[in-house]
Each structure stands twice: as C-alpha cells, then as structure tokens.
Chain A
Amino acid sequence: MGQPAAVGSGSEAAGGSETAGGSKRREVCQMEISMPAEKLASAYKTMVTIRKAEEAFQKLFLEGKVPGFIHLYLGEEAVAAGVCLDLRQDDFVTSTHRGHGHFIAKGADLKKIAAEILGKETGLCRGRGGSMHMTDVENGLYGSTGIVGGGFPPAAGLALAAKKRKTGQVAVCFCGDGSVNEGTFHESINLAAIWDLPVVFVCENNLYAQSAPQEYHQKVRDIYRRAEGYGIPGISVDGMDVFAVYDAAAAAVKRAREGGGPTLLECRTYLFSGHYVGDAKAYRYPEEMRYYQTERDCIKLFRERVSGEGLMEESELAAIDSCVEKEVGAVVAFAETSPFPSEAGLTQHVY
C-alpha cells in the first residue's frame, strides 16, 4: 500500500533532530487550537465555499459548459483556507494550474472566478485566461499558471519588492509535490533564503504529480526536509486539518512579516478530484481514495472538532452552509448569463 505511514497515524515522527533551520513534522490532532475564536466561522466558510464552488464547476463541466479543461481543488480546501486566513489583502499569492481554491481563500470575487472559468467578459481576466491562467492584482493574486514551477521565482520577486520597499507585505507561494522537482523551486527557495525574503512556500503534497506517484518521482517523501538544505525552517503538517495548517501558516507568515525570512510549509493533503475532471484515477489505490474521502475530509473534521469542543453551534454551521449554497447558486447564474468577450479586444493590452 502506498500510503505514507505518518498520515493519520497520530504518532510522533521518528528521525531528524532539530536542525539549524528548525525542520520538524507536526502530527495530526493538535493538542490546542491556536486559531482565534473570531476566525473559526471564516475558516469554515472558506472551506465550504471552495467545496461547493468546485462541485458547481464540476457539474458545469460535465454539462459541457466549461471550455477547455479544469483542475479542481476538492479535498484540499483546508490548505488554502488555513494559509490565507491571516493574510492581508495586499499580501501576495502565486498559484498553480489548480488555483480556484487559492483564489477563493485569498478573497477574489467568486462571481468573477466563475465567469472566468466559463470564458466570459465579466471574468477576472475578461475571458482571456480561463481556469488555469487567472490573476487578480487587487487581491494580491499574482497569477496561476499552466507552467508547473512558474510561480516560484515570482513569489521570491514579490517578496523582494516588499522587502526593499519596507511594506510589510508577505508572499505566499502555493505548489505541489510534483513541482518541487522543477529547477525553479531550488533557485527560488535559495534566493529567498540568502536574501531573507518574506515568502512562505506552501507545498500541497497530495501524493501524486498528475499520474506519477510520489514514491516514484521523489526519493525523500518528506518535502519539508529540503528546507534544511537551504538553511531555512521547514515544517510538515496534516493538510486535512485546517487548525494544523493555520497554526503553522500563521506563524510562518508572522515570521516573514517581521523580517524572519522564508519558511517551507508542507501540507500533507489529498485530492478527491482527479488531476482534471474526467481523470479515471486508475493510477491511485482505491482504498487510499476511500480512506481520505471518508475519514480525512477537512470539512467533516472541522465540524466534528468544533461541535465536540463546543466552539461553534450546529445552527451556525448550518447557516453558513445554506448561505454558501445560495451564493454559489447566484454565482453560477451570473457566470452563465454573462456575455462572452467581443473579438474587438483581441490585441488589446499586448504592450
């Protein structure tokens, strides 16, 4: 079975003394929730919004209404939600081809995201980009890209600008386990390290790079350990637990903002979707898919925790669910009824 031993085991990871960079693994079942009470509802709402929006986009795709192809974030909601919770509007995010969750969590207008996916004039990029190539400068979303590894150098560069200009802004770079095999990962994290740049590299390790299992494309599966090679802190958390993600991300963002330099934050997560909608996932273990979908669903885990500890009422959770459903419905209607772009603008803004 290909499941890494540490996930879901609740046991302390063996091996690896504290290094100069402070690399460590944080296991599941946080003893204490560090997320402030006033942010609980927001974290939940973000995860539910991503879940319901992605399900809606999937439905639209299967109805033939989405041009091209889409890569959904289903299953990984806790990562985007936890990481973005403490970000300012003017903090930067570089995203990937699987970026809808990042955009939603960072505060991009869901209507404009949906319209962009459908290729409408009212979309974030006026239909020019589509699902894989979105950008939202107003919310610091530098851009998703169809080129894996394309977001590493920009994240370092945005952090460089923030540092030189003393703005206090932080850059967050989302990436996957496959992408850290790109040369740009090495180059960018090294730049960030030697120049103490305010950037957090968030690696969504979902065990697969398209159809290649992680144990094939990488010998060392604990990606956080690479941080030691650059002399920066590295940490690995259960990416299905938004509390664990938040705890580590908030600390890393704070450290960066206060001049403490970069962090490599590995979030161990899992994709419920295929690589794109239509992927039969025949390269994945069925038991593994079942395990994550039934026992490691971040929304389910959150609900269990806050209900069990009396942190949120069921009625409040249900109200959020219902509110999000209505919003997503309105968003889909907006996107579907929006006009397509006119060809008159084909060569606008080239230079």
Chain B
Amino acid sequence: MSEERIITYAQAVREAMIQEMERDEEILFLGQDISGGAGREAEGMGDTWGGSFGVSRGMSTRLGAGRVMDCPLSEAGYMGAAAAASTAGLRVIAELMFDDFLWLAGDQLFNGAAKLKYLSSGGQSCRLTVRTVTGGGLNAGMHHSQSLYGPAAHMPGVKVAIPATPYDAKGLLIAAIRDDDPVIVFENKALYGVKGPVPEEAYEVPIGRARIARPGTDATVVTISRMLQEALEAADRLEKRGISIEVVDCRSLSPLDEETIVASVSRTGHLVVADEASGRCGAAADIAALAADRAIDFLDGPVKLVTAPHAPVPFSPTLEKAYLPHAGNIVNAVMESLGLAGSEG
C-alpha cells in the first residue's frame, strides 16, 4: 500500500483530465480561457491563463493546443458543437466557466444532448463531459456564485456529479469522461484549494453512488457538494452534545443513490438534507420526498432541509455569510428533527 499522496481538489481535476487524455487520443477539451494566449503558442505566449481557477494550467503545453482548445464567448455554440462532436467519433470534455452560464448552453445540453439517446433508442449517445464550477463563498456576486445542479439533475438524459473531495473530484471526473452518456460535473469553487489523499493511478468513482463520510446513529445528514465539510464540522459539535450523526455525501444527483440514503435514514430515523442552493424545487426537496416515501416507517421526526434562502446570492460579505448555509444551521436542524432544545447562534 503506497503512502497517501495529498493534493488539492484542483490538482486532482487536472490530473484526471491529463491521465484520460493521454490514455485516449479521441478526447478533446474545449472551454473559455482554459489555455490562454490562444494562437500565440509559437511566440511562447500560449497556456498563459489555464482556466479561471488555474485548473487547466499546463494542459495545452503538455497535450497541444489542438486538443486543449480555447473557445470564443459562444456557450451555446461550443457546447452544442461539443455534444454533437461527441457522437461523431470524438470524446469531449467541455468546460462552462461558471454554472451561472448554464442557461446560455441550456437548449443545446437539455433539449439536444440529453434527449439524443432516447430519441435514437440507444443508437446515439453523447460521450460528453461538461465540467463547470458551482457555489458561493468567494464574494463573486450573483452571476458567479449560483448552485445550479438542481435544475440540471431535473433533466432526464444527463447525469450530474458533484464531488466534494479531491478523491471524488478525480474519480468522478474520470468516470464521467469514460461514461458514454452526457455527464455534467459541478466542481465547487470554494473547494479547489482543499487538500486530500488522491491515488496517483487513474481510478473511477461510480456515478450514482453516495458515500457514508461519517457513520452515526441518531440522525442522517445528507450533503450536497460543499455542505459535506459543513456537516462534518456540525458532527463534531453535535458529538460534544452526545449526538451522533451519520453524514452521507451524495456525490451524484442523477442518478441518485436512493438505496444508501434510504438505508441510512432507516437506521437513524431522522433526516436533514444540507444543500447550498436555495430550497424551492431543489435537490434537497427531492431527497426529502424519497425518505417520506420509502423510509416513512422509520422516520421519528420531521425531515429538515438546510438550504439558502429564496433570494439571489448577495455580494456583500455580511450578506453572503448570512445567506450560505453553515455548520450551525445543520446543528440546529438536527436538534429540531430530534425534538431537542438548545440551538446554536
């Protein structure tokens, strides 16, 4: 067993792409400013941006500008092109710089790519992986901080993965790239710097499989994306009060790992779902409904959803801090579900 190698979430994402692209020459990577200085490679000015968060730095130098292609500001154009190219002999990774831009590519992804396999009865599918970045916490404002995996997961025909750790970031992305169906991977911008153990070799984390991040007995807290870290913090605080929570990281929203979630709630009898997105018609509500149906005999308290309020993501630090769900909210929700007094500020 090799020593644990610790790298960042961003490094894990880059490694996944490089390893897959070196293994499979059919893979093309498209996106805005993934390289930088496009067209000036011969002058030594290529690869001078490397993605908004430096995730793809070095890739065009290593793999060539022909395989790591900067795109103009034409999200519908290059996403639609990526989807179709992925049915015609290529395997494509296409980056959407922020998930707030999802709507610009929406028709091509959800009316086009998502429905192709169904229409063709399996004859055609899009070997497309869309990488995008979600979430707030960086005071980036309302057009650069949204969490839009809920609407994506609602659409039949695309798979949705939301890694919350460096290990899952690499494994889910590799699985997504190798998957012959369109997958949208929502990376979290506030997690790019987080470090964790990541094996050097290529490996897959199956799409559609949740992970029990921390076993527990009194309540289940299902988390989406960065709420994993908040829930683990909440778990430590609750432990001091003698309460043991089981933290289940979704890792994928579509398909959703219903079995793991239902099994956990059936053991603990209480469910809290934590999601940074706002609540109305969101992923957390879907998970709550699942429990209300399949774990109803085991539920001993109300299902509590910890989500952002129903409002755009505000810019100001004081507002954004109050807006984004955090460990204290999760602690309170667990207490409420257990019918216990004593909330946190």
Contacts and interface: CB of A to CB of B under 8 A. Distances in A.
Interface of A: 2, 67-69, 119-121, 123, 125, 127-133, 145-149, 178-179, 181-183, 209-213, 215-218, 280, 282-285, 340-343, 345-347, 350
A131 B144 CA distance: 12
B311 A347 contact: yes
Nearest to A345: B319
Contacts of B75: 182
Contacts of A347: 309-311
A213 B319 contact: no
B141 A133 contact: yes
A179 B75 CA distance: 11
B39 A213 contact: yes
B142 A181 contact: no
B139 A130 contact: yes
B143 A147 contact: yes
B33 interface: yes
A98 B75 CA distance: 20
A204 to B, nearest CB: 14
B82 to A, nearest CB: 16
Interface residues of B, number: 42
Contact of A211 (B49, B140, B312): B49
Contacts of B101: 147
A247 B60 CA distance: 44
B330 interface: no
15 contacts: A67-B315, A119-B315, A127-B316, A210-B32, A211-B49, A217-B38, A283-B36, A341-B319, A342-B318, A343-B321, A343-B323, A346-B314, A346-B323, A347-B310, A350-B311
Of B45, B76, B141, B309, most A-chain CB atoms within 10 Å: B141
Given A146-B143, A347-B309, A216 B39 contact: yes
Interface stretch (B66-74, B159-167, B291-299): B66-74
A282 B37 contact: yes
Given A128-B319, A211-B35, A213-B37, 4 more contacts: A68-B141, A178-B73, A212-B70, A217-B38
A179 B98 CA distance: 16
B215 interface: no
Contacts of B318: 119, 127, 340-343
Contacts of A212: 32-33, 36-38, 70, 72
Contacts of A341: 314, 316, 318-319
